[in-house]
Each structure stands twice: as structure tokens, then as C-alpha cells.
Structure 1
Amino acid sequence: MAIPKPTLVLSLLALLFSIASLSAHAGVSIRLAGPDIAAICDKSLDRQFCLNYLQSTPGISAADLKGSGLIVLNSARAEASGTESYVKGLLAKAANPKQKEAYKTCLSNYDDAVGNIEAARESMSGGDYNGANIQASAAQENADTCDGGVKGTELSGKNQHLVKVLGIVLIIANRLLGG
């Protein structure tokens, strides 16, 4: 006896719905694909930077959204730590008192930025995406504050790069929050 086509179609749809539902409850996550990267970068202030960054960062294409956020945060932490060391070197060589003061401010800001990025990473790992958003935003503010006294320098370029990377974290955290 043949199964009527409408019954077969409904049965297949019910099976697909069940599989999708089980996957969602089992914690199976969807990987970040090209369209997801484009959707993230469409919300970025510098879309091309975002696309280049996400497409060239190792591990992103194999990670889910949360994993991608953690990868970007790890990269941001390494970048902030490197910039902190860079600022220490600038401070050691600075002769101009005004320049020295700007570097001291930056050093303090980058110390805070590293801590804020680490806190954002812990929040994201624990599923506290709002906390990750707040901490990443604070780290952006740290880099922006440093930038105030060093505009037009190589350090300014490093500050703005970190701000853009952390902007990607903010977008990912917002998507994880459902936005």
C-alpha cells in the first residue's frame, strides 16, 4: 500500500522539525558561515575591516557564534597586552614631559583594558553576554582614552585597531543576546 503524498510530506516536515528541535535542546550550535560573518559586519562601523578580520582570523570559520566571540576576545587580549608592552617601551624612551604623561595615561588605560577584556572573556565563556558586552565596551573606552593624547602616532593606530576589534565583540555579544 502506497503512502499518500500529502501524508509523506507532512511526515518528513514533522521529522525535520523534531531533529531541529532536538538539536537546539541538545546544545548543538551552528557554525559561523559566510552569511553570518556578513551579517555581523553589516552592523560594524568599518564593514571592510570586520570582513577582513573575521575571514582571516584562524578558527573563526569552524567556530559557532560564542566560540567566535571568544576567539576575537583572545586576539584582542593578545593585542592589548602587546600594546601595553609597546607603551612601556615608549615611556622608557620619552624625554618630553607632556609625551611622558600621555604614555603614563596610556599604560594605565591598557592595564585596565587587558583586565576588562579578560573579564569579557570570562563573561562570554559563562554565557553572560550582557556582561561581555559591558566589559568589551569598557576596554574600547580604555583604548579611546589613550588615543586622546597620542593622535597621529603609531600608538593611535594600535588604539583604533583594538577599538574596531572590540566592536566586533560587541556585535557578537548582542547577537548572542538575541539582538
Structure 2
Amino acid sequence: MKPITSFLFLLPLTVFLSLLPHLLAVDQTNSTNLIAKACENSSHKEFCVASLESSPDSQNADLPGLAFIALKLASSNATDTATHISKVLGAGNLEPLFEQALTDCSEHYLDAIEQIDDSLAALTAKAYKDVESWVDVALSDAQACEEGFKGQDGDALALTRRNRVFRQLCNNALVINKLLA
């Protein structure tokens, strides 16, 4: 290859490489703007943005992708909470009232996991009203769990915090789903 020909061949590559950081910055700005817009009507905007941005997949996601990420985060949280409850129950030496509340809570979270899984399937089918219905049921499960611990402290407070995070994750999914519907 002659020197001038090789230079002309490398010129487009050089131009592309010099523009790449700017192209990536625009893409990241667009994803950040989409996340901010998706979380705009959330009652916990900062939490909504932070939770969605915690997923690497959010950087290239469209609105349905963000809804999927929000539901996956809620599902993961519900699964972690169900596991935590099982560990506490397995440790034994619990007061009967607390043990019953945990047993009920375990059942509620297993149901909530199913509801979120159904929501994911509904989202894939673009059945946005069904997504809303299933997520509402999952929220009811978390609320029922919470009501079993009224007036208790100690380990119940840790579960109260877990319930609050789960409800916020579900609310994020509902806010995004509403934009899709």
C-alpha cells in the first residue's frame, strides 16, 4: 500500500475513534435522561433513579427495558427477603407471636415473588394492565407482612426496612408501567 493510500484508509478510523467518546457521552446522557423521565412521577425519585442506574443494563435500555429492570430488581429483593425470613425461622428460639408473623410473612413473600414473575410475563406480552394488577397484589402481600409485625421491635424492624424497599421497588415498576400503558 502506498503511504497516501494507507493514510486515506486510516482517516475514517481516526475520525471515528476521535468521535467515539462524544458518541458514548451522548448515549449515556440519553439513558440518564430516560431514567430521570421514567422516575419523574415516583414518590421516591432519588431511590428510583439510583436503583435503575444500579443495573448496568439500564445504560442501553428503552422504557420497556427500564420496566423490566425495575421488575427484576423487585423480584430479586423479594427473593432475598424470603431467604432472610427462612433463615430467621430456621434459627429457632422465637417467640410464638413473632414466629407466626414470620411464617405468614414467608407465605406472603412467596406469593409476591409469583406476582412479580407474572408481571414480567405480562410486560413481555405488553399487557400493561395485567402488570399493574400483579404488582398491586405483590404490594398487598408486603403490606400484609408488615401488618403482622405491628408493635414488635428487634428483628421485626429489619423486616420493616426490607418491606419498605420492596414497596419502593414495586412502585418504581408501577410508575414506569404507567408511562407504557
TM-score for the superposition, normalised by structure 1: 0.76
Letter in 2 for 1:57: S
Matched, 1:126 2:130: no
* Cα distance in 1 between the residues matched to 2:93 and 2:114: 26
SS at match of 1:127: coil
CA root-mean-square deviation: 1.7
SS at match of 2:97: helix
Equivalent pairs counted in the alignment come to 147
Letter in 1 for 2:61: A
Structure with greater proportional helix content = 2
Answer yes or no: is the 8 Å Cα contact 1:132–1:173 preserved in 2: yes
* Cα distance in 2 between the residues matched to 1:91 and 1:100: 7
* Cα distance in 2 between the residues matched to 1:98 and 1:175: 42
Answer yes or no: is the 8 Å Cα contact 1:112–1:139 preserved in 2: yes
Unaligned runs of 5+ in 1: 1-30
Answer yes or no: is the 8 Å Cα contact 2:52–2:58 preserved in 1: yes
Per-residue deviation at 1:42? 2.2
Per-residue deviation at 1:149? 2.5
- Which aligned pairs between 1:107-146 and structure 2 lie closer than 5 A? 107-146=106-145
Matched, 1:53 2:57: no
Per-residue deviation at 1:38? 1.8
TM-score for the superposition, normalised by structure 2: 0.75
* Cα distance in 2 between the residues matched to 1:118 and 1:56: 21
Q: Which of the pair has the greater relative contact order for Cα pairs under 8 Å at 6+ separation?
A: 2
Q: Relative to 1, partners in 2 of residues 1:88 and 1:94: Cα closer, same or farther, differing over 3 Å?
A: farther
- Which aligned pairs between 1:17-96 and structure 2 lie closer than 5 A? 33-92=31-90, 93-96=92-95
Q: Deviations over 1:91-137 (max 9, x none)?
A: 22252011011101101100110000000000001111111111111
